[in-house]
């Protein structure tokens, strides 16, 4: 995969993970999984993910768990919660814990799977 495709694929994967997290949350709370509802829930976290990409310069190592994945995850939660609070949305401690756990599994998990796949592929070529 070319470096540009790798960056765009990683950015898309992060966005899909954040949107999936928000859709799952809305469904589990019976809030309805509509495009507008998911967008309303997701935008603070998507903004946080973008901040994480900028802070870590994610385009340099888009598939790396550290620093890119960790920065994207931490910024997704930190900025997402601040933006939610600023918009009078809930930021209960239990929500922060669940959101942190689920987004870590998603944002770091896909990178771990990608790293494993790359190692296996490199092992077969050797």
Q: What is the pLDDT of residues 22-79, one digit of tens each?
A: 999 988 877 777 898 899 999 999 999 999 999 999 999 999 999 999 999 999 999 9
- For residues 38 and 24, the answer to whether their CB atoms sit within 8 Å is no
Query: Which class for 125: exposed (0-12), middle (13-18), buried (19 or more C-beta within 10 A)?
Result: exposed
Mean pLDDT of the region 77-89? 94
pLDDT band at 126 (very low <50, low <70, confident <90, very high): low
Complete DSSP assignment for 23-51: HHHHHHTT----HHHHHHHHHHHHHHHHH
How many angstroms separate the most distant Cα atoms in the chain? 55
pLDDT of residue 123: 78
pLDDT of residue 105: 98
Q: Is the pLDDT of residue 125 over 80?
A: no
pLDDT of residue 43: 97
pTM attached to this predicted model: 0.91
Least confident range of 10-14, 20-24, 54-58, 90-94: 90-94
pLDDT of residue 15: 98
pLDDT of residue 28: 84
Q: Is the pLDDT of residue 9 over 80?
A: yes
């Amino acid at each position: 995969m070319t470096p540009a495709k790798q960056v765009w694929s990683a950015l898309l994967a992060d966005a899909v993970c954040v949107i999936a997290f928000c859709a799952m949350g809305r469904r589990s709370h019976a809030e309805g999984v509509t495009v507008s509802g998911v967008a309303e829930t997701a935008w603070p976290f998507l903004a946080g993910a973008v901040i994480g990409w900028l802070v870590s310069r994610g385009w340099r190592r888009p598939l790396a768990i550290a620093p890119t994945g960790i920065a994207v995850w931490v910024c997704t939660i930190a900025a997402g919660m601040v933006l939610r609070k600023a918009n009078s949305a809930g930021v209960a401690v239990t929500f922060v814990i669940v959101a942190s756990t689920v987004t870590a599994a998603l944002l770091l998990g896909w990178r771990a799977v990608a790293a494993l796949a790359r190692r296996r592929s490199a092992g077969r070529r050797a």
